[in-house]
Each structure stands twice: as structure tokens, then as C-alpha cells.
Amino acid sequence: MMLAILIGVLLVAGVLAWWAEHLGPRWPRWITLIALTLDLALALTAAPVFRPPSLQPWLMQEQWSWIPRFGITVHLAMDGLSLLLILLSLFLGLVSVAISWREINRRVGFFHFNLLWVLAGTLGVFLSLDLFLFFIFWEVMLVPMYFLVAVWGHEARHRAALKFFIFTQGSGLLMLVAILTLVFLHHQQSGQFSFDYALLQQTHLSARSSFWIMAGFFVAFAVKLPALPFHAWLPDTHTQASTAGSVILAGVLLKTGAYGLIRFVVQFFPTAAHQLALPAMVLAVAGILYGALLAFGQRDVKRLVAYTSISHMGFVLLGIFAGTALALHGAVMQMIAHGLITPALFMVAGILQTRFHSRDMSDMGGLWAIIPRCGAMGMFFAMAALGLPGLAGFVGEFLVLAGSFAVYPVFAVVAALGMIVSVIYALQLVQYTFHGESSTQHRVPDLSAREMGILGVMVILITALGLHPQPVFELLSAAPAVSSVAPPHTVVRLSL
């Protein structure tokens, strides 16, 4: 029951937080904080350090009948990959509550309701092994995220929220068509309806059917990743979202796209994914360079960080389709690193906007002399974003490039150029914002103890994973072990 409880706690707490709004703004905040802390503690009990891994593929698994007429069940399971992303999601949920403690002052209960329901939907995506249930949770994420942007965002928030919803909802419907097609083909062969992951995986598909069904899944996940050219919604949504909204969007929602590519594209359709590998890697490399170059040309701090997301998530796409265990491990490590570094940069950008009422770097400059603690934090996270050795971002990108070079050296070399451009835009961010001549006469307070505590924890985690990433790899291989590396030019069907 523990997996269902993880999701249920967030759903119930979200309703309670909304209801408690009339009691005062502190009640929704504390309800949300307690619920996320409880969920994080429960999720940690599934880690192998507390629970020795078995020989089964799953650390935990639960299944109940739901709609037997159509073979729909509540089938939840957690493996090492799921656990890593759940821990990341819950941690960033706590960070979002803490960073918005004073920023969100209107409709506080409704804000925390949407925050908790986004996270509940995300956990459902990471845990569902029934494709109908997976689609339900996929949709549950979208509407609360729409409100997080549309209600508490900035000047053009409504347009950005609508663009986000159209892109993600449209691609989600395409995935639904792919799911239903797979289910009906399975019914033709077996005589029974089923949405179960393992049963559907046994369906015999022609090469043509397999490719087009896989393409439906791929587009849905590529939009959420986002991969070029499905990225158009991301810069506006990030720019207009509140700080907490940007943290959840960058650190949590983008990971559902990468997770779906691993679980439902590469593992479910290995042959079709092999056919798509070359075009996918072209899109990955193009996204790496495109995101980095456009980040270099931005003057809006949040928009700059948004384009770095496109570039960094391109490494994830490259690692997934490179077809080696090393690259796949690097892709997962990059997901975790990006989930810490980019939200931290958005927090720094949000802090600057709150104090200076501007996101334009030309309105800043010389801030190190005014807010030195914020300058130090900004410089650290900028260095982490450019892949400085010893920090988490370097580990993921290095493994992706090393694993890709073994089979596709040209792609690895071109992708490495993105790391060079990242040095330029990261240093530009630090120089234009914190150094040079001051563009403002405002004397504003430096980081508070609360803000220093939040960012300090992020610094510790990014450094710890950069110096000692082995726990992540052990958790990935714990359920079950990744025992082989694929021969060149093949796609590995790995169970993480």
C-alpha cells in the first residue's frame, strides 16, 4: 500500500490546504510542508540502504483490479529509476514551498493545492505500470501546472500558460491514440482487453505498427522534455511562471518526458527505437547547440536559464538513444543534475526579480557589492551549469559524451561544442549581473537566512553528487543490475 499512500497523501493534503485557506495563509503552507516531508520520509524507506534489494526487477509493486471489464488495474511499481525521480520531485516540492513562503500572498491555499496535485500526478507517472492509469496521471499534472503559471505568473502569464497547455495536451492526446491502438491490437491477438505494461509488451506488432505507435509516445515525451522542434512552449512558460512554478517545471515536469522515453520508448519498442535513434540523436545535438546559442543572446535572466534547459536536456536525449549503458547512466545522472542546478538558477533569478523588479541584466550589474551572498550563490550555480568538474552537471554530460563517442563519435564531438558555448553564457550571466559598473542605486537586502538555507542545501547536493555520484549508479543497478553494454549501433533494452 505504500506506493498508493505516497500519491494519496499529496492528493488529500492538497484538498486540505485549499480548504484551510480561510484559516489564514500559514495553514496551507504548513500542511503542504508536513505532507511533503512525510512523503519524502516514506520514499526513503524504499532505498536499498534501508531495504535490501531483492532479485526482482522492482523494489516495490502493488496491483488491484479497477475496471476488470476493460482490463484496467491500479498497478504501481517502483525501481531504482522511479525512486531517484520521486526523491528529486519531493525534495523540489519542499524547496518550492520554502522559496514561495513570502512570495505567494494571494490565494495561498489554492496555490498549494495545485503544487501538491502537480507532484501527485508526477509521482503517479513515475509509478504507474497500467497505461490507462499512466495517462490519467499524465493529465493530472497539466491542469494544476496551468494554474500555477496563469494565476501566479508575471505580465504575460495567460498567454504562456495557454501555450503550455495546448502543446502538452495536444501531444498527450496523440499518446492516448497510441495507447488505445496498442490495446486494441493486443485484444485482437489475445481476445482480452488489458492496459498492463508487461502484457502489452508481449503483443506481436508488425514493424510498421510498432514504429507508428512508438512515434505517438515519442512525440508526447519529446514535447515535455522538450526536444527541438517541440520546445516552443518552454521559454515563455519559464519566463512568466512564478519562482516556485519554474522550479517545479524545470526540476520535475521535464523529467517525466525523459522518464517516458526510457520506460515506454526504448524499453517497450526496442526495434522501433533503434530505427529512430539516428533522427533522435540529430535532434538532441541540434537542441544542445540551439539552446546554448540562444541562451547566449538573451538579456532576460529567466529566459536565459530557460534556453539552457533545452541545451542540457538535449544531453539527456542523446544519452537515451546512444544505445550504451554508459550513455544511459549519464542521461539519468544529467536528469538529476539538471533537476538541481536549473531550479537553483531560477531561484536566484526570482530573488533578483523580487528585489529589483526586473529580469533584464542591463538593469543590474555590480550587484556583488550590494548583495554579495546572492552573487556567490549565482556564480556557483552558473559554474555548475557550464559543467565544471567536481559538480554534478559535469558527471552526467561527461558520461553521455563518453558513451556516445563509443558508437557515434561525430555526434559526441558536435555535442561537446555545446559545453563550450555554455561556458560563454554562464560567464556572461555572472559578469553582466554581479560584476562591472552598477546600473542601480537601490540598496536592497541580501539573501535572508531562509534563502541561504535553501540554496545552501542545493550547493551541498550538487557538490556531493559531483564528487561522489556512485550512490546514484548503485541505485540504478539495484533493480535489476545492468550487466552488459550493447554492441555498437544497437539500442540497449535496460531495466533500470
Residue with grid cell 531495504, as numbered in its chain: 51
pLDDT score at 132: 94
Residue 242, helix vs strand vs coil: coil
Cis peptide before 409 (omega within 30 of 0): no
Residue 445, helix vs strand vs coil: coil
**DSSP state, residue 128:** B
Cell of residue 97, nine digits: 514551498
Give how far Cα 174 sits from Cα of 22, 168, 265, 325, 495, Å. Answer: 40, 10, 14, 30, 26
Alpha carbon distance 112, 100 (integer Å):
10
Whole-number CA gyration radius for the chain: 22
pLDDT score at 495: 37
Distance of CA 55 to the CA centre of its chain: 29
Contact between 9 and 39 (Cβ < 8 Å) = yes
Alpha carbon distance 239, 112 (integer Å):
21
Counting Cβ atoms within 10 Å, is residue 366 exposed (0-12), middle (13-18) or buried (19+)?
middle
Give how far Cα 485 sits from Cα of 53, 58, 84, 475, Å. Answer: 22, 21, 22, 18
Alpha carbon distance 134, 411 (integer Å):
33
Counting Cβ atoms within 10 Å, is residue 487 exposed (0-12), middle (13-18) or buried (19+)?
exposed
Counting Cβ atoms within 10 Å, is residue 37 exposed (0-12), middle (13-18) or buried (19+)?
middle
Low-confidence ranges of the chain (pLDDT < 70): 48-57, 438-442, 478-496
Query: b/e string for 378-400 if b means 16 or more Cβ within 10 A?
Result: bbbbbbbbbbbeebbbbbbbbbb
184-239 tens-digit pLDDT: 998 898 888 989 988 898 888 888 888 999 999 999 999 999 888 888 899 889 88
pLDDT score at 442: 65
Q: Beta-carbon neighbour count of residue 409 at 10 Å?
A: 11
Q: Which residues pair with 408 in a beta bridge?
A: none
Contact between 465 and 336 (Cβ < 8 Å) = yes
User: Largest Cα–Cα distance of the chain, in whole Å?
Assistant: 74
3-class DSSP string for 249-303: HHHHHHHHHHHHHHHHHHCCCHHHHHHHHHHHHHHHHHHHHHHHHHHHCCCEHHH
pLDDT score at 493: 39
Give how far Cα 427 sits from Cα of 194, 307, 382, Å. Answer: 53, 15, 7
pLDDT score at 25: 87
Q: At how many degrees (to 10) do helices 108-127 and 26-44 cross?
A: 20
pLDDT score at 30: 95
Alpha carbon distance 20, 107 (integer Å):
11
Alpha carbon distance 288, 280 (integer Å):
12
Query: b/e string for 39-55 if b means 16 or more Cβ within 10 A?
Result: bbebbeebbbeeeebee
480: left (phi over 0), alpha (psi -120 to 50) or beta: beta
Q: At how many degrees (to 10) do helices 449-467 and 325-356 cross?
A: 160
Alpha carbon distance 185, 172 (integer Å):
20
Q: Beta-carbon neighbour count of residue 189 at 10 Å?
A: 12
**DSSP state, residue 23:** G
Q: At how many degrees (to 10) do helices 392-405 and 409-434 cross?
A: 160
419-444 tens-digit pLDDT: 888 888 888 888 888 887 766 666 77
pTM over 0.85: yes
